[in-house]
Structure 1
Amino acid sequence: MQIVFMNQMSRTDQEGLAQFAQVWIGEEEGVWRLGWRDMELDGEAVDEEWYEGSSWNEMLYVYRHRLAVKLGDGYRPMIEGVFHEPQEVAGKQQTAQKLQCYSELYGNEELYTELCAWRRKKAASGRKAPYFVASNRVLRLISAFIPQTEEELLQLPGIGASKASEHGAEWLELTSKVARTTAFPLDWVYDALREEEYVAWLYKQKEAKYKQELERFRTRRVMLSGIAEGASLMQLKERTAMSRRELLEQLEELEKDGYDTDALIQLELNAVPEEEQKSIWKAFEELGDTFLKPVLQRVYGQEADGTSTTEQLYERLRLIRIRYRRSAGGADSRNSDRRRNVG
């Protein structure tokens, strides 16, 4: 095997002792291998094999994710730039990151739990997804810095005048019951937060990001392979453990990226009468393809929304919308070459 990349890694353990390791990439007859080697004090080496296969792209996704885990555990590279990314952000974005980091490490968990319960009730009453009401990051910031006035609330990144006006009174009602030991403005955070804590937190963010990218890559590969084999949505659901709704969202993304998904679309629409498909197409022409609910009501009537078959009807609309957008009249039509496989 030919080693094409290697980097020395090191960290200091809790007892102050140095630990060394290597991350490496090798190739042999078209097969890529990726691994990690712990160098023990007695000279012995302990190997972890992270990847073996023919896909360079998949190997890179695994490399980024697994290396981010090690960096989050305190290892640092001898050669910088292990992710081949631009330098870390600065200015306002870095300020927001440090506040977010502090809030996740030192937040008030009891208050955060109360805020999450508030969000669930708010989302249920408004029939919205919880993240549309407020993100986890916003609730973490509130729980850590416990603002007592709207002016303080507006100093938290991610909370603008609109959100403060909409939910601020309810947030402040919850925070007013909690004693705090810190104050606004939040300049003190940058001294209180140790640099090593911040760097480790940044790598944990990368770990989550690269894990998501790896899962997305593998899901797309399974879907494209299934489509080529003539698999149905039900069969893809079994292969990926994803819901039909999630699969349709992935199908839309594949279509946007120029992949040929029509075999699956045709398979799923075989049971839909031609006249019904034409009615849906005409509704998209008249109402646009941004929102599905008006199209649903135009084709199936007002009473169709909220019935036991609603989800099935929305599936049909999504599938036909993909074709509609691909056409010359679709809002998202594209002329890109249609690719058929991944890395």
Structure 2
Amino acid sequence: MQIVFMNRLSRISGADQEVFAQLWIGEEEGHWRLGWREFSGTEEMGDNLWYEGGSWNEMLCVYRHELAVKMGDGYRPLIDGSFHDEDSLTGTRNQEQLKLQYFSEHHGNESVYEELCAWRRGKASSERKAPYILASNRLLRMLSAFLPRTPEELLQIPGVGEGKASQYGGDWLSITSAIEREHSFPLGWVHQAVDEERFMAWQYKQKELKYKKQLERLRLRRVLLQGIEEGLGMEQLKAQGGVSRREVLEAVEELEKDGYSVEKLIALEMADVSPNEQADVWTAYELMGDTFLKPVLYKAYGEGFSPAEGLDVYYERLRLIRIRYRRGQAVQLGVATNF
């Protein structure tokens, strides 16, 4: 096996004793191995094998996730840029915004946060929008921590632009301005209020969570591709992947976008759906577009359609047929482009 990458890390462990470790990647005929080796003084503690297999992408996901865990525990690398990705923990503006987020997560006013969440639920219902489109949890946390009182202060909160401020700023300020606060604007004081070591550990925890999701997504895709090839249906894929049917369907849509064939699964799931019903859904997509499912549902099945078994099964059909529809549209566009 040839070692293609190695980095040395260290951390302080009790009585100011420095502990060392090596992180290494080896390759042999397309087979990857990833490991961690710790040292205590001059004593080698042995290898901990993190990954062994033929997928570079999966190995890289494991590398990033496990490294984030170790750096969250206090290890620091000899070579910077350890994660080899597009994100950076440096950059003045990025650091300032991250510190505001960190501070808000640890110093938010919980009652104000709950009131803002209640506002979001009500507004999302009245405007028929997904709650996250109105405001993210992160934004509501920052509003609850920094308690802006004026439109000018509100615009200093990351994630609040002119559009959001004009739409919802009045509602937010009616909640936040009624609460006493001990700090002032602008928020430059946050930089001094944040403990650098704890902030750094928090950043690596965020990376750990991010890379864990990436790794879970990558492994789910592998399970689905193998299952689809074996002729498994949605329920079997759900069991093998350990996720919900909705998560399976979302992953299947991503696979199609990335150029993988999922037609075998669609054909299996559509086997008991009549050709006339499938044709009605296809026509509805042609008339209503494929962005929103509800108009297509009512166009295909009739206004006020409310089956006893619920709508989930029908929305699932719509999404599977939409994969075919979009594939057909892409083919037509490609043909038109070639002329």
TM-score by length of 1: 0.87
> Does the 8 Å CA contact 1:326/1:333 hold for their aligned counterparts?
no
Q: Is the 8 A contact 1:107 1:141 kept in 2?
A: yes
Q: Partner residue of 1:56?
A: 56
SS in 2 for 1:231: coil
Work out the CA distance in 2 between the residues paired with 1:143 and 1:62. 35
Partner of 1:58, secondary structure, is helix
Write the deviation string for residues 65-106 of structure 1: whole angstroms up to 9, x where unpaired: 110111122211112221223555535444322322222243
Alpha carbons of 1:96 and 1:306: their partners in 2 closer, same or farther (altered >3 Å)?
farther
Q: Would you say the 8 A contact 1:326–1:334 is kept in 2?
A: no
SS in 2 for 1:180: coil
Give the % identical residues: 57
Please, what is the CA RMSD of the aligned residues? 2.6
TM-score by length of 2: 0.88
Moved more, 52-61 or 91-100: 91-100
Measure the CA separation in 2 of the matches of 1:166 and 1:332: 40
Aligned-pair CA distance for 1:169: 3.6
Do the aligned partners of 2:10 and 2:75 also contact (CA within 8 Å) in 1?
yes
Q: 2:37, 2:44 within 8 Å by CA — same for their partners in 1?
A: no
User: Is the 1:232–1:264 Cα contact (8 Å) retained in structure 2?
Assistant: yes
Whether the aligned pair in 2 keeps the contact of 1:22 and 1:37 (CA below 8 Å) is: yes
Return the alpha-carbon distance in structure 2 between the equivalents of residues 332 and 172 of structure 1: 50
Q: How does 1:142-221 map to 2 (within 5 A)?
A: 142-221=143-222
Give the secondary structure class of the aligned counterpart of 2:43: coil
Q: Secondary structure at the match of 1:85?
A: coil
Q: Mark the runs of 5 or more structure 2 residues left unpaired by the alignment.
A: none
Question: What amino acid maps onto 2:191 in structure 1?
Answer: Y
> Runs of 4 or more off by more than 6 Å in structure 1?
331-335
Query: Per-residue displacement from partner, 1:121-144 (whole Å, max 9, x unpaired)?
Result: 544555543323321110121122
Q: CA deviation at 1:256?
A: 0.6
Structure 2 residue aligned with 1:340:
none
- Contact preservation (8 Å) 2:11, 2:76: yes
1:80 aligns with 2:41: no
Residue in structure 2 matched with residue 285 of structure 1 by the alignment = 286
1:270 counterpart residue number: 271
Structure 1's 249 and 234: CA in aligned 2 closer, same or farther, altered over 3 A? same
State the distance in 1 between where 2:112 and 2:286 align: 49
State whether residues 3 and 27 of structure 1, in contact with CA within 8 Å, keep that contact through their aligned partners in structure 2.
yes
Q: Does the 8 Å contact 1:21/1:39 carry over to 2?
A: yes
Secondary structure of the structure 2 residue equivalent to 1:302? coil
Distance in structure 1 (CA, Å) of the matches to 2:45 and 2:159: 47
| Residue matched to 1:341 | none
Higher mean C-alpha displacement, 261-270 vs 130-139 = 130-139
Go from structure 1 to structure 2 and tell me whether the alpha carbon gap of 1:310 and 1:65 turns closer, same or farther (over 3 Å shift). same
- 2:6 is matched with 6
**Distance between the aligned counterparts of 1:69 and 1:305, measured in 2?**
48
Aligned-partner Cα distance in 1 for 2:61–2:267: 32
Give the structure 1 partner of residue 142 of structure 2. 141
Structure of higher RCO (CA pairs closer than 8 Å, 6+ residues apart): 1
Q: CA deviation at 1:273?
A: 0.6
